[in-house]
Amino acid sequence: LMLIPDHLKDEETDIISRVRRGELLASYETIRRRKDGGLIAVSLTISPIRNASGEIIGASKIARDITASKESERRIRLLLREVNHRVKNQFAVILSMIRETSKRSTDPREFEELIRSRIMALSRSHDLLVNSEWAGASLFDLAQEQLKPFGHEARVSLSGPLLTLQPNAVQNLGMAFHELGTNSSKYGALASEAGRLEITWRIVEGVSDKREIHLVWDETMPVREGERRDESTRKGFGTVVLQRVAPQSLNGLAVLDRSPGHLKWSLTAPLASIIVPQLGADVPETETS
């Protein structure tokens, strides 16, 4: 038994009036109250009943519980809004890539190659998020996925606790790993048989006893003849990502050190800006800095 809620009493008058006019209500969505007092979404099918003379003598009513379908519709609307937000965000990132890359590239072919590789890197991070239904991605998987195009897995070492990154961290760390990997494959550890790349991360005690993540990309490689000792003036798009975009997006700080035979990128950021909150309860105990 379902009752009409007090705030919808006028609805019954309208329905009766329409039935008396001979109108068929095939799918009339409204709210009804159950015996226990709870409200429920229903779809009513109401049709007039006629006698042999064609006179309307009553009405037939079927009420279907549509709570589940309404919940599905709500989730779909939320998903569409989320997708719309994420698509706009991706467009903004890509436009930024195009703008910054164009400032630093005079060769159309080089520009095309750089943009393609950066968009593909963004796509790899995106795939990890899609596979998890945007719940996040592990730091280990992200690093592996972004390093795949460069090969030389035997020269790479990954070490750190299992952490599930927030979507924003996946996107921005993914960009950073791609820029570092691209540079390494041309000039660094991944360009030399004797090169070595170590990526490590750990949880440390930060300011005000808040935990932080300390991530280090550390490359060692043979010194090339004529290699400059100070490359700090080189300000390509990759450097902008490493020193500004990635750390700022994670409320952290980054340091990029270059010297002959060595490159080190260190990132320190609040753990709360990096990991998925509901999955962060079991992260390892804090290490002392």
Question: What is the dihedral angle through the alpha carbons of 181, 183, 187, 191, rounded to the nearest 10 degrees?
Answer: 20
pLDDT-derived band at 134 (thresholds 50, 70, 90) equals confident
For residues 286 and 57, give the distance between their C-alpha atoms in angstroms, rounded to a whole number: 77
Please tell me whether the overall predicted TM-score, pTM, comes out greater than 0.85 for this model. Answer: no
6-65 adopts what CATH topology? Beta-Lactamase (3.30.450)
Q: List, for residues 231-253, the tens digit of each pLDDT value.
A: 443 567 888 899 999 999 999 99
Other beta carbons less than 10 A from residue 218's beta carbon: 17
Q: List, for residues 14-46, the tens digit of each pLDDT value.
A: 999 999 999 999 999 999 998 888 999 999 999
Q: Please name which of 129, 138, 184 lies closest in space to residue 160, comparing C-alpha atoms.
A: 138
Strand, helix or coil for residue 66? coil
For residues 272 and 251, give the distance between their C-alpha atoms in angstroms, rounded to a whole number: 10
279, with CB counted inside 10 A (0-12, 13-18, 19+), is middle
72-279 adopts what CATH topology? Heat Shock Protein 90 (3.30.565)
Question: What is the dihedral angle through the alpha carbons of 31, 32, 34, 39, rounded to the nearest 10 degrees?
Answer: 20
Task: Output the six-digit token pair for 126.
Answer: 């995106």
Burial of 126-160, coded b for 16+ CB within 10 Å and e otherwise, reads bebbeebebebbbbbbbbbbbbeebebeebbebeb
pLDDT-derived band at 102 (thresholds 50, 70, 90) equals confident
Q: List, for residues 214-234, the tens digit of each pLDDT value.
A: 999 999 998 876 555 444 435
Sequence ranges of the domains in the chain: 6-65, 72-279
Average pLDDT, the chain: 87
